[in-house]
Amino acid sequence: MRIIPTEEAFHFLGLARRLRGSFRGGASKRRAPMGMLLLRRLNHVQAALFIFQIDCEKEVRPLKKHTTENLALAGLLIALGTALNFIKVFDLPYGGSINLCASLPVMVFAYRSGLKWGLGAGFTFSVLQLLFGLDALKGVSAATVAGSIALDYLLAFTVLGFAGLLRGRLKSHAAAFTLGCFIAGMLRYLCSFLSGWILWSEYADANFSPVLAGLSGQTLACLYSLVYNGSYMLPDIFLNCAVGFLLMQFAGKFILKGTEAPANAA
């Protein structure tokens, strides 16, 4: 926690200066030892407050710069991800598609800027995805709409922020980012699976895959959601991991520039 010098501290500093002047100018010989002792203490306090003020100024300025840079980069990469989401490689009839690595920009930001910033960017990205996907929620109950907003959008895209979870835990940035992308993608897959099983079970179709033949009820709903969502999410996860590995392997130094700790600080 960073402590900022208060107005009272600087008022005390002014008082110290005035007292120091009075001891220098009008102290009697009998009180001189006590006055000099107090003078030394006040000098120490003054020096400490002055150094503390300089130290705080040095800390606050980089913090503001860091925040501004992160906000600007987050806006740029979220916009890029939103644009890539419209470039679809494969589309399924009941929702879901393989797109051109739309999640990757947010995951790159999460790896570069940390978990807190990554989750915030993921949540912002989820709100944009919700706004563009509202048409898919027409004609269903209010409970289904609420559940779908939570599982298919807000949670499903916020978890992309976990892509930076392994940074600093592995020596290779490419390996750490790739595994982080896999974890984030699987968490998103889990959200979509739960949504399909709990909210959209009425659309379960045993003819969708030979694996589902002869199934019914909750067993069909569970496996249908697993297979249906996996048919587009697993390829999307592997595509993001492959491109993410190459990106971090060959452009990692540029992407992470300014965020690496000095070698002697580890």
Does the structure show a pLDDT above 70 at 85?
A: yes
User: Is the Cβ–Cβ distance between 141 and 197 less than 8 Å?
Assistant: no
pLDDT band at 89 (very low <50, low <70, confident <90, very high): confident
| Strand ranges inside 51-210, DSSP E | 88-91, 97-99
162 vs 57, more confident: 162
pLDDT band at 65 (very low <50, low <70, confident <90, very high): confident
Pairing of strands 97-99, 88-91: antiparallel
* pLDDT for 265: 36
Does the structure show a pLDDT above 90 at 95?
A: no
* pLDDT for 33: 55
- The whole-number average pLDDT for the span 209-225 is 91
- The whole-number average pLDDT for the span 49-60 is 44
* pLDDT for 263: 39
Question: Closest Cα to residue 97, out of 247, 239, 244, 246?
Answer: 239
* pLDDT for 57: 46
Does the structure show a pLDDT above 50 at 50?
A: no
Least confident of 11-15, 100-104, 230-234: 11-15
Q: Where are the domains of the chain?
A: 7-57, 85-259
pLDDT band at 9 (very low <50, low <70, confident <90, very high): very low
Does the structure show a pLDDT above 60 at 59?
A: no
One-letter amino acid at 145 equals: V
From CA 126, how far away is CA 120, in angstroms rounded?
10
Give me the percent of the chain exceeding a pLDDT of 90.
Answer: 56
138 vs 37, more confident: 138
From CA 185, how far away is CA 230, in angstroms rounded?
11
Topology, domain 85-259? Arp2/3 complex 21 kDa subunit ARPC3 (1.10.1760)
The mean pLDDT value of the chain amounts to: 81
